[in-house]
Chains A and B, each alone.
Chain A
Amino acid sequence: MTTLAANKPAYDGQTLDLTGKSGSRAFKNTLATVLIVLCFLIALVPLLWILWTVISKGYNLLLDPNWWSQSQRGVTVRRVGGGAYHAIMGTLIMSLICALIAVPIAILGAIYLVEYGKGTKAAKVVSFMIDILTGVPSIVAALFIYAVWITVFGFNRVGFAVSLSLVLLMLPVVLRSTEEMLKLVPDELREASYALGVPKWKTILKVVVPTAFGGIITGVMLGLARVMGETAPLLILVGYSKNINLNPFEGFMGALPTMINQDRTELALQPAADRVWAAALTLILLVLLLNLLARVIARFSTIKSK
């Protein structure tokens, strides 16, 4: 062995070409880079466009304190004035009630699917149903609740009925995202907890869910953002009211999407058009604010690394 190695010349006289990309590979690389950046920019165009339009046309009214404190009571489409307080509160109340119902069901459902039901027939059925529910259009969810709430039980069109139909839309979003987050928690952590003699339910509560908490919160916010912009359930299940109504069990209720819809019919009139843009901007801001809130909560729930 050693003699062989000794007989080998140190160099074989040839220089290897290590200069890197050949012409055709360099070309393909550049082409792909250009294409990807281009696609990114194209995807960005509508987003920036929408944001710019909404902000530039809507910001004016938002600077008026009345926008945040007054309703549209007695304000006709031709007149300037009033605010969106009734609609903001309506949107917040209806989506909050929806979240209160949907989030616990979704999180517990996801825990069942990941921790308990894995591979069982029941889990497969539930999972399939959730897939179907994900694809249900909002108007179908609204009509379903209409059939149950108004036709069968004989209740009135109220904010709570809207919340119920929004639950159907929010549930699958939050459940799926929570499920994915729980799946990301490594089994080693579960086993580490079991090895300490910690029961399964406590392992889930104190180890698995806290580990996935940030992701779960993000999922909840995504779900909330989705339902806050839904219009069909509002049109079908509660009438639009220009007055402030904070009671979800009685009377019509304003909401931002229906406020937009109301003034949209008279878009040629400047006061109405202004309100449409301002309401749209308010809705965007509301969703943004909730997302920021979610990040703050997620930040504070984890311990700091440094």
Chain B
Amino acid sequence: MAKRIEVSGLNVYYGDFKAVEDVSMTIEPRSVTAFIGPSGCGKSTYLRTLNRMHEVIPGARVEGKVMLDQQDLYASGVDPVAVRRVVGMVFQRPNPFPTMSIFDNVASGLKLNGVKDKKKLTEVVEKSLHGANLWNEVKDRLDKPGAGLSGGQQQRLCIARAIAVEPEVILMDEPCSALDPISTLAIEDLIEKLKDRFTVVIVTHNMQQAARVSDQTAFFNLAATGKPGRLIEMGPTKQIFSNPNEKATEDYITGRFG
């Protein structure tokens, strides 16, 4: 598992509006890559193109190439549903299915795709909850609704749900922005653990978080309001935070932005 993502010359549009311009990057397998940058610079938009989730919004389209190892995700004949089975996603706000129990939430990816074998489901649910550092907290109440957990637990439940389908890549869109510092720490520990098995990409507004959890950091910015967002630079996290090549990156990281 875990695959390399290579993006070249990617433009993202919402209708006529160009939201992201000419992004090329390589995301290494079994590593954590962080996207940082000011609000509205297109990092979330760009993240959502990596599993073709942006297509959910009417009028959104993409130019360029996204290669998952040797396969182009945007080649004709590629089914976005199949793409999302290998590139999973965790969202900004925890979104467990309100009608389902904790067990069913974790099993939902498999169940909704037709797996009925009870034994296999039980195994996967336990393994995924262990994988999300949540097992000990919920093992006695797997039949209770997932929405009854705390915010931090819900987010780990969502991560368990995402890893239960054994994706190659996990995309996280500001997974801690709605959580308190302790829950954030729990998620960060988890991200550290996840990179043994998955390629992890995380969007964050918290620069300390990017510095703590990521191996590679990509800085996005936009020239002005209404202009498309661009990738300014990307490199090893240590280097980006200590000795960036671009002035804009340094300004942003040191808080002299805007």
Contact = CB atoms under 8 A, between A and B. Distances in A.
The answer to whether A and B assemble together is: yes
Interface of A: 118-119, 186-200, 202-203, 206-207, 210-211, 213, 302-306
A203 B56 CA distance: 13
A211 B99 contact: yes
Nearest to B90: A195
Interface stretch (B17-25, B32-40, B77-85): B77-85
B76 interface: no
Interface in B51-101: 51, 53, 56, 58, 81-86, 88-91, 93, 95-101
A211 B109 contact: no
Given A194-B53, A305-B145, A199 B81 contact: yes
Of the four ranges (under 10, 10 to 19, 20 to 34, 35 or more), the interface on chain B belongs to: 20 to 34
A6 to B, nearest CB: 28
Contacts of B113: 196-198
B217 interface: no
Contacts of B51: 195
A194 B84 contact: yes
15 contacts: A118-B58, A186-B95, A191-B89, A192-B161, A193-B108, A195-B51, A196-B162, A197-B81, A197-B84, A198-B81, A198-B108, A200-B81, A207-B99, A211-B97, A303-B101
Given A118-B58, A197-B109, A303-B100, A191 B53 contact: yes
B109 A207 contact: no
B226 interface: no
B112 to A, nearest CB: 4
Contacts, number: 87
Interface string B144-187: 11001000000000100110010000000000000000000000
A191 B173 CA distance: 12
A195 B99 contact: no
B84 A207 contact: no
B81 A189 contact: no
A195 B97 contact: no
A192 B81 contact: no
Contacts of A202: 112
A191 B145 contact: no
Contact of B99 (A118, A187, A190, A303): A303
A195 B88 contact: yes
Given A196-B109, A198-B113, A305-B145, A210 B93 contact: no
A193 B96 CA distance: 10
Nearest to B48: A191
A119 B112 contact: no
Contact of B84 (A187, A195, A211, A305): A195
Interface in B99-121: 99-101, 108-109, 112-113
A190 B56 contact: yes
B97 A189 contact: yes
Contacts of B91: 188, 191-192, 195
Given A191-B89, A197-B81, 16 more contacts: A187-B56, A189-B95, A189-B97, A191-B53, A191-B95, A192-B91, A193-B97, A193-B112, A194-B84, A195-B51, A195-B84, A195-B91, A196-B84, A197-B84, A198-B108, A211-B97
Contact of B95 (A192, A200, A303): A192
Contacts of A190: 56
A192 B97 contact: yes
Nearest to A209: B99
